[in-house]
Amino acid sequence: MVKIRSWVNAARLRTLPLSVSGILVGSAIAAGEGAFNAAVFSLALATTLGLQILSNFANDYGDFVKGTDNEDRVGPQRAMQSGLISRKEMLYGMMITGILTFLIAIALIYISFGTENFLYALLFLVLGIAAISAAVKYTVGDSAYGYRGLGDIFVFIFFGIVGVYGCYFLYTTEWNWQVLLPAFAIGALSAGVLNLNNMRDRLSDERAGKNTLVVKMGAAKAKNYHYFLVLSAMFFMLIFSAVSFEALDDLLYVIAFVPLGMHLRRVIENENPVLLDPELKKLAISTFLLAVLFSLGQVI
């Protein structure tokens, strides 16, 4: 029972709502166009959850091996750091999760494109492999991109553009530039969650040699960058509504701007990075709320 609880903790369930936000938004836009497919939705959801859990396992492993998870770390203690899961066990967990996620992704690609759209299927197969690789390489290996300040870019691409636009394309096989606007919004908010995490861990990351974007920019610029991410997300959503407006239901997601605004105020007033930890969950849930309300507006 203790071991099961350890794996559940290592999967970091609180990060999962954020990871599915892009799938909800992309699926909702497709549903609004009459292109929804329950099988595609289920498999896309499973693939995204698998990638997020794989990423969480890999982060646990990579940060522990590199010595980043030490007594200076501010956030909750991780599974390997606490000794509840061994290095070998975590490697096996990563391998099994990666293989299962890849198999689900293949099923998703086949259901979406069949055998008629071979080039599209090949493109998404490459994207799937890239996503699995990115999930692992954030902290694992000598060339871990999270230790070189590149995590925000990858989060923006895979949570935003691939998550929203890629999901929309799986349903429709159509190119629609307008879908990039909510994709950019979800990508920016997802990068905001990562930035907030790195703001909280700035001092311990700097001592451990983890050169995140926050470490490179410094605390003051990291705050300004955070404001930019959250406010630009709101802007992209409003622009999407402006170019695709049909009814007031389309603006239901604006309700989520309230907790986002409250979050920004708390970040502005914050002077102790340790106190930013609760804001991680709040920003992730606010992003999920925005995705749910947006989806309801599109479907209604």
Q: Give this prediction's pTM.
A: 0.94
Average model confidence (pLDDT) across the chain: 92
Cα(296)–Cα(15) distance, integer angstroms = 22
- pLDDT tens digits for range 32-68: 999 999 999 999 999 999 999 999 999 989 888 887 7
Does 8 fall in a domain?
no
**DSSP tag of 140:** S
Does 280 fall in a domain?
yes
Does 274 fall in a domain?
yes
Tokens of 300: 């209604």
Does 292 fall in a domain?
yes
Does 209 fall in a domain?
yes
- Helix ranges restricted to H, 33-155: 38-65, 79-82, 87-113, 118-137, 151-155
Cα(217)–Cα(112) distance, integer angstroms = 42
pLDDT at 1 over 60: no
Does 185 fall in a domain?
yes
Contact 70, 209 (CB under 8 A): no
- pLDDT tens digits for range 164-214: 999 999 999 999 999 999 999 999 999 999 999 999 999 888 988 889 999
pLDDT at 70: 64
- pLDDT tens digits for range 140-163: 988 899 999 999 999 999 999 999
Q: Which structural domain, as residue segments, surrounds residue 174?
A: 19-299
The domain total for the chain is: 1
Does 294 fall in a domain?
yes
Does 115 fall in a domain?
yes
